[in-house]
Amino acid sequence: MNVLKIGLASMASVVANPYQAIPEVQGLFVSHFENILGTSFDLKIVARSYAVARQTEKVVLAEIERLNHIFGI
């Protein structure tokens, strides 16, 4: 969960000031999913590498699955 907290904190700082420079960023990685909590879901990750983006995607999807079990959706 620490990775998710760090990711969410980083995301919050970018959302708070979307025009700030993001150092060492290589790209935007986009994934599309169907039937996530009953709807379609586009996940956009800004990361230094594909490997980091994939790991972040796994963490996000695991958290969604955890919430899915809690909400019983």
pLDDT in tens, 6-57: 444 455 444 455 555 555 657 999 999 998 888 899 999 999 999 999 999 9
- pLDDT above 70: residue 60: yes
pLDDT of residue 71: 86
Report domain extents, the chain.
Answer: 2-71
Supply the DSSP string of 11-69, one letter for each residue: HHHHHHSTTS--TT--EEEEEEEEEETTEEEEEEEEESSHHHHHHHHHHHHHHHHHHHH
pLDDT of residue 14: 46
Q: Nearest to residue 36, comparing CAs of 14, 66, 13?
A: 66
In whole angstroms, give the CA distance from residue 73 to residue 54. Answer: 25
